[in-house]
Structure 1
Amino acid sequence: MSGNLSPFHFAIVGGGTAGWMAALLFAHKWLKPASEQTRPVKITLIEAPDIGIIGVGEGSTPSLKRFFQQLGIADSEWMPACQATYKTNIRFVNWSPAAAAMGLGSDYSHPFISQPDLHSETAFYSNCFKRRLGLAVETAPEKFLLNGYLAAQQLAPLTPANFPFRIEYGYHFDSGLLGQFLKQKALAMGVQYQALTVTAVNQLPDGRIASLTGEIADGDSKAVQTLDADFFIDCTGFRANLLQQTLQVPFESFASNLFNDAAVVLPTEAFAIPPVETKATALSNGWAWQIPLRHRSGNGYVYSSAFLSKDAAELELRQHLGLLDSEVNARHLQMKVGQVTRSWEKNCLALGLSQGFIEPLEATALHLVQSSIEQFIDAFADFSDEGQAEFNRQVHQRFEAVRDYIVAHYKLSSRSDSHYWRANSSNMQLSESLRQILDVWFRQGDLAQELSRQAQGRQPSGSHFGATSWHCLLAGYGVFPPLRQPQPANVSDAFTELELAAFFNGCSLNFQPQHLLWRD
């Protein structure tokens, strides 16, 4: 049957991580032996040779582990090629002075949630509820979740074969090197590559994209070429040449409740023993990341240009890193925070920065790319656009759910040392979903139940951040009332009664530092 049909041609415009992830997952789905195909498929990735890749240190969520598992690519293969390290946790430093004043510490953790945490999540919820009632119980997130212990002890999240639980983890990696690695894998799977600088996007009378016209370097001259395809993937970055510029799909800015729109980046030397966590440190007008790679550490300051100048941001980052006298050059980046109203329009799908971007506080960028690709493959399995409207609805809601979780970091911060932080805490541009979540928390309601209620309206897309993630944020920030005075006698504390420290420390004996795994 497939021999009687012309190949269905996907043209992916733009490389980088998003483009090559799409190429690989498309190839995994559709580039199969003829006997397994209902229709032959051709995949071409088009990339302008003169557009560089940013290549900063980047972090991921555990969804990237699933991406490599689907493709049968082992950590031991891709991680050394991309200078990657393991990530079990995000540590937030100096975001909530109020928490420190309450004796809860100046920083808190958001560990990734793994199977052993089924033993402790309910205890975490219970203690947070009691603390919301003014009772003095343990609520530090990293004490209730295994990955918090691994981060504290700098242990890699890999277990021996006899360890019966699945451990979830993310990665830190050089995004430029990852793009190169994925490219080689995609080419080996049959994806075709075309170095082409697109100069025109040609449309059919009904508005669909028909072809691309571009230039190819041919010695000292340039040859013009036209490339036809059936479906186009826009991975052209913030320019969004296909979806926004050609198809005129509107962009919804999140600037009213996410103020950050710029970043400055500086590398530092690698750690002798790399941490298995990302560090996010609040500064005067934003926050600084620290991402430990094998060959260096990636550092950057995410800030709002409305509150801080480019030069002042670089100076503050250099002060933060102790690099005032360093000659290492800084790179300045601009961010366009928000999302398109429709990710899939006519015969075009936008991914990555073309689709939208939410600042990198919780490392959701690749998660949103991957989930969009996987959902599109399901919706477009028979090369029909019947699932387009539902796909757009779910992706739009997923972006909004991530945005709300990030907004909460700024809204709830108790910092008041700059106009920036005061503007964030007084900002009332909150979604109804976020308002309801916070209302339930402050009224001592059941947060997990509220999130479940909201998720029913989003099915099957759901939200990346569940009840445990919200408890990590709210408890970590110390969003609690003052302790009762005096305290009732014999307050029940699930952390001590279940001996969770002994349980998790016992589990930790099965792990070892990641740098020991790199030895030949």
Structure 2
Amino acid sequence: METDDTTVLHHDQQLGDSPSANAPHIVVVGGGTAGWMSAATLKRRLGCRVTVVESARVPPIGVGEATIPAIVDWIENMGIDEDDFIRRTGATYKLAIRFDNWVEPQHRYWHPFGICGSPIDGVDLIHTWQRGVRQGWIPVESKYTDYSFQRELCERGRGPRAPGQPSLAHNYAFHLDAGKLAAFLQEIAINEGVQHVVADVCGAAHDEQGNIQSLSLDGQTAVAGDLFIDCSGFASVLIEREMRSEWTDWSGQLICDRAITMRRPRNELGDDEESSAELPPFTISTGMNSGWSWQIPLHENTGCGYVFSSAHISDEDARSELIDLVGGDGETMETRVVPMRVGMRPMSWVGNCVSIGLSAGFVEPLESTGIFLVQRALDELVECLPTTILPGVFDKRSCDTQSFNTRMTEVYAQVRDFVLMHYVVSQRRDTAFWKEAATVALPDSLARLLEEYTRTGRVLMPQRDPTFLDVNHHYILSPAGVQPGCLPGARDSQPGTAQFLEHIRSTHTEIAMRLPSHASLIDTIHP
């Protein structure tokens, strides 16, 4: 691996290899989940030198954070024991999101993980179910998600597995304490050999091609590097301040621009006995007067928040509305206001600087995609780097920056469209917020998707690694009354079809009843 005067880094470098002092150097600016996940992942996958430069003046947001099943892949790829991950991050299982008051007040629907039931004749179950309801051989009060295993577990408050056993639900994720997650990721990174520098970045020196050569630090020696990762959040200290990458604003379509966060003790969530009696294995998203709230159940407490539009409600009124929902003493409850910048950078990789996390883009966390977008960016980055990197000689021409920027723009647009879809299919018009949020001008991509869906029953998706599958769209559109057009091959009533559907439900119930409650499973895992 060594030549006379340089080290060449190969992507398949063994994990045990110790990079020499002149190995390629990646500098990550910013800590938190994005910074430390980037550092730990890149150190493990590339094996080069990695330094994290983190400001002591940027406080962590420290909210409860939900994830999607991609986090399980990251845990496995990093060789982390799942139970240890749960203990170290204060985690619980997440099998679904329950949406309350979204379609209309007092309405409830589920977005579970995984497929719904089983395809019939190669066609998604929704088409057979839809025909069955229309033709009268399925009860009219039934729902598509009645055939989801994850929804069955959620309704019964069950965990997806028994202690010491693998999950019986093939798709699951976690609720996490964001502060504990960042600390855990930092420990992993440092144990892998990542260096940690606590300092503010004051500026950067550039070469003739505009690449960053080194960072000037407040009160410390400058840090030189070959590749710089901007995980500085909305501050975007490198990608915007140094590399002048432009931001595309999406606030005209997703109109929420602020959030209020707080924590409540476990099992103390207002008067909703169904959600507070046990530790729910799902996120609760509630449509509010001027936005929506989340309740994310953790082992020790519940993370709560209200994502809202400042054009429709004040911070104080939003705080009061949230406390009214989840309970607590408004005089003593600690809350925090978090401004949000909705949009993304079409050029999130410029020269030798790559923005990851909030510095690259932000879509409100309705579908828990924040950590996923960090993971996806890291995957794309590794794939788009050259097969070899020479220390001190970073040639941006050898990197496929165009593919990276194109792919990440597509991913962010997918997430934007899917989140926006929740609003535009809502039937709520009871407040000024909902009148505006549900009637914004649609991106062309979402307009085409909805037209194709209602006309043919097909979901238009990117050919490469779609973020949300057909079934995810069915889960959101069906409860709002948006039905897919009829696909060829969707089955009419045939002998045994109704019995087969009932068998799916009874099997799910039988398996769920053998599993422990989610609360007992989590309490068994935690010390």
TM-score tier after normalising by the smaller chain length: 0.7 to 0.9
My pick for the range that moved more, 157-166 or 350-359, is 157-166
| Map 1:201-220 → 2, pairs under 5 A | 201-215=204-218
Q: What residue in structure 1 maps to residue 13 of structure 2?
A: none
Given the superposition, is the C-alpha separation of residues 141 and 370 from structure 1 closer, same or farther in structure 2, using an over 3 Å criterion? Answer: farther
Given the superposition, is the C-alpha separation of residues 478 and 214 from structure 1 closer, same or farther in structure 2, using an over 3 Å criterion? Answer: same
Q: Aligned to 1:247, what secondary structure does the other structure show?
A: coil
Given the superposition, is the C-alpha separation of residues 165 and 117 from structure 1 closer, same or farther in structure 2, using an over 3 Å criterion? Answer: farther
| Map 1:78-93 → 2, pairs under 5 A | 78-93=85-100
Q: Aligned to 1:43, what secondary structure does the other structure show?
A: strand
Q: Confirm whether residue 409 of structure 1 aligns to residue 422 of structure 2.
A: yes
Question: What's the CA shift string for 1:97-119, capped at 9, x where partnerless?
Answer: 28x7xxxxx10101110697567
Q: Confirm whether residue 191 of structure 1 aligns to residue 194 of structure 2.
A: yes
Deviation at 1:140, TM superposition (A): 2.3
Deviation at 1:163, TM superposition (A): 7.7
Deviation at 1:209, TM superposition (A): 0.8
Given the superposition, is the C-alpha separation of residues 141 and 371 from structure 1 closer, same or farther in structure 2, using an over 3 Å criterion? Answer: farther
Q: What residue in structure 2 maps to residue 67 of structure 1?
A: 74
Of 369, 373, 380, the match for 1:368 = 373
Alignment coverage as a number of residue pairs: 481
Q: What residue in structure 2 maps to residue 103 of structure 1?
A: none
Deviation at 1:224, TM superposition (A): 3.4
> Is the contact made by 1:121 and 1:144 (CA closer than 8 Å) also made in structure 2?
no
> Is the contact made by 1:59 and 1:291 (CA closer than 8 Å) also made in structure 2?
yes
Of 473, 493, 501, the match for 1:470 = 473
Of 116, 129, 134, the match for 1:127 = 129
Given the superposition, is the C-alpha separation of residues 132 and 23 from structure 1 closer, same or farther in structure 2, using an over 3 Å criterion? Answer: farther
Deviation at 1:241, TM superposition (A): 0.8
Q: C-alpha separation between the residues in 1 aligned to 2:496 and 2:303?
A: 39
Q: C-alpha separation between the residues in 1 aligned to 2:252 and 2:500?
A: 45
Q: C-alpha separation between the residues in 1 aligned to 2:321 and 2:164?
A: 46
Q: What residue in structure 2 maps to residue 436 of structure 1?
A: 448
Q: C-alpha separation between the residues in 1 aligned to 2:251 and 2:135?
A: 35
Q: What residue in structure 2 maps to residue 36 of structure 1?
A: none
Q: Mark the runs of 5 or more structure 2 residues left unpaired by the alignment.
A: 7-21, 268-276, 390-395, 485-491
Q: C-alpha separation between the residues in 1 aligned to 2:495 and 2:431?
A: 40
Letter paired with 2:24: F
Question: What's the CA shift string for 1:358-378, capped at 9, x where partnerless?
Answer: 000000111111011011111
Given the superposition, is the C-alpha separation of residues 60 and 251 from structure 1 closer, same or farther in structure 2, using an over 3 Å criterion? Answer: same
Of 166, 171, 184, the match for 1:168 = 171
Given the superposition, is the C-alpha separation of residues 492 and 279 from structure 1 closer, same or farther in structure 2, using an over 3 Å criterion? Answer: farther
Q: C-alpha separation between the residues in 2 aligned to 1:162 and 1:83?
A: 20
Q: Confirm whether residue 52 of structure 1 aligns to residue 59 of structure 2.
A: yes
> Is the contact made by 1:44 and 1:192 (CA closer than 8 Å) also made in structure 2?
yes
Q: What residue in structure 1 maps to residue 438 of structure 2?
A: 425
Given the superposition, is the C-alpha separation of residues 26 and 496 from structure 1 closer, same or farther in structure 2, using an over 3 Å criterion? Answer: same
Q: C-alpha separation between the residues in 2 aligned to 1:407 and 1:468?
A: 17
Letter paired with 1:2: E
Q: C-alpha separation between the residues in 2 aligned to 1:509 and 1:163?
A: 17
Q: C-alpha separation between the residues in 2 aligned to 1:164 and 1:14?
A: 35
Q: What residue in structure 2 maps to residue 314 of structure 1?
A: 319
Letter paired with 1:369: V
Q: Aligned to 1:173, what secondary structure does the other structure show?
A: strand
Question: What's the CA shift string for 1:188-230, capped at 9, x where partnerless?
Answer: 1111111121111221222111110112xxxxxxx33211000
Q: C-alpha separation between the residues in 2 aligned to 1:495 and 1:511?
A: 27
Question: What's the CA shift string for 1:153-178, capped at 9, x where partnerless?
Answer: 11112258998966211111110110
Deviation at 1:88, TM superposition (A): 0.3
Q: C-alpha separation between the residues in 2 aligned to 1:108 and 1:140?
A: 9
Given the superposition, is the C-alpha separation of residues 501 and 43 from structure 1 closer, same or farther in structure 2, using an over 3 Å criterion? Answer: same
Of 147, 155, 164, the match for 2:158 = 155
Deviation at 1:69, TM superposition (A): 0.7
Given the superposition, is the C-alpha separation of residues 391 and 140 from structure 1 closer, same or farther in structure 2, using an over 3 Å criterion? Answer: same
Q: TM-score, length-normalised on structure 2?
A: 0.85
For the aligned residues, what is the CA RMSD? Answer: 2.6
Q: Aligned to 1:498, what secondary structure does the other structure show?
A: helix
| Map 1:5-44 → 2, pairs under 5 A | 5=6, 6-31=22-47, 41-44=48-51
Given the superposition, is the C-alpha separation of residues 442 and 131 from structure 1 closer, same or farther in structure 2, using an over 3 Å criterion? Answer: farther
Q: What residue in structure 2 maps to residue 262 of structure 1?
A: 258
Question: What's the CA shift string for 1:211-260, capped at 9, x where partnerless?
Answer: 10112xxxxxxx33211000000000001111112111110111111000
Deviation at 1:273, TM superposition (A): 3.0
Q: TM-score, length-normalised on structure 1?
A: 0.86
> Is the contact made by 1:285 and 1:308 (CA closer than 8 Å) also made in structure 2?
yes
Q: C-alpha separation between the residues in 2 aligned to 1:118 and 1:44?
A: 48
